[in-house]
Structure 1
């Protein structure tokens, strides 16, 4: 019995992990963990692993084996069973617990807009037509705000249907929140939070933290005396929306 556990533990875990990766890709949820550019590679490698697992099982079933291994000590047995249990619990958890996007807790740990200085954003916005400005996401607006606080620059550049999740401004959480998104370069481990400040006194009464919203309005001087953000969106409309199928920006 123990020799079988030792022999097939790794094969079973590789197979289960690969199956989880394929399942996440098929259900459209793998994008919650990795950049879309890596999905094809990941699925291909997982499929190859599954083929090899099937081949290993078929090969073992085609011949009879005798267990002639040396006796296993109690410590080795316990260590092996513990490792298998931990790995098995991880795989089962991936299947049972629905994948979730990164949240405000992660955004606060990694500091919103620490990487928002997109050097091309300001120049691109200066020459952009109305249709292009209307398509700006949190990525573009946060990059622009990091480079200028000149209200004249924003005079003819309204915010249109900006979508993100709600994260409180740490300096004035009563009156200002960030409409936020995570930007991913490789996978969720390197995700960096970006956000655009919105002035809406008493927003907590209607907008739960981490809820997704669509905001339209215009930039103006921040009325808050506590917030460190010089400019904020003064909203004309704030609407609750469903989380996008691709919640991250790439």
Structure 2
């Protein structure tokens, strides 16, 4: 590959990293704590391209440029492969892939693994919830408390849950995707909504729900997905960070 092409690719890739870092769209791909890594990577790529361009303008060559002018012809396959790096750049600049949503949740439900029996295992007493109702709880924490809390901290409490709508047959869920590192390792967390007719809610629309847990609803048979009785539902804008961490 010609050195000019390498410089162009470095500038494009570095610019794409900086764009998603400063625009906030990096939250669709990685955790908030990774922003500085993306910025560092983007700056390094652009600096490398700048150094190479300056050296070219001064008539210098890198120490490893020991090949002749016709050498590009012998590496046409490598050059074509390298140009594939432009595809994610174009996706970032022109398309802006959306965050994962209801499709990912439904696919995970369709490939649900066998859940091992954990009767009597993993139960613990969770810290007390703040006083006052409704109490804002993430879906991950709500699901964990519903399945494993020996102290039954959610009983007779109204929880405020936020997530996007997932319609599965006749059932309606509020869901989020939790990530450990990036969107590639995302896994769904969902809560079944009961007590009101909610089939009119569109998939992937964001809602805030005030609801109470139906004790004992999170079982091994349903992969520990709790059910709640809904009191109120409100449509909300998609948050800046669509994932739980």
TM-score computed with the length of structure 2 as normaliser: 0.79
Change (3 A) 1:153 1:45: closer
* 2:156 corresponds to 1:156: yes
1:121: Cα distance to partner?
A: 9.4
* 2:215 corresponds to 1:214: no
Distance, in Å, in 1 between the alignment partners of 2:124 and 2:166 is 24
Distance, in Å, in 1 between the alignment partners of 2:6 and 2:104 is 33
Gaps of at least 5 residues in structure 1 are: none
1:81: Cα distance to partner?
A: 4.9
Equivalent residue number for residue 180 of structure 1? 175
Q: Which SS does the other structure have where 1:203 is aligned?
A: coil
Q: Any idea what the Cα deviations from partners look like across 1:154-200, whole Å, max 9, x if unmatched?
A: 4331122x11011234xxx31x3221111111111111111111125
Change (3 A) 1:81 1:53: closer
Q: Is the 8 A contact 1:35 1:184 kept in 2?
A: yes
Q: Is the 8 A contact 2:191 2:226 kept in 1?
A: no
1:132: Cα distance to partner?
A: 8.9
**RMSD of aligned alpha carbons:** 3.6
Q: Which SS does the other structure have where 1:52 is aligned?
A: helix
Number of residue pairs matched by the alignment = 232
Q: Is the 8 A contact 2:129 2:153 kept in 1?
A: no
1:130: Cα distance to partner?
A: 2.1
Distance, in Å, in 1 between the alignment partners of 2:81 and 2:5 is 9
Q: Is the 8 A contact 1:199 1:235 kept in 2?
A: yes
Equivalent residue number for residue 141 of structure 1? 142
Higher fraction of helix: 1
Q: Which SS does the other structure have where 2:147 is aligned?
A: helix
Gaps of at least 5 residues in structure 2 are: none
Distance, in Å, in 2 between the alignment partners of 1:8 and 1:73 is 12
Equivalent residue number for residue 236 of structure 1? 231
Distance, in Å, in 1 between the alignment partners of 2:2 and 2:86 is 14
Q: Which SS does the other structure have where 2:137 is aligned?
A: coil
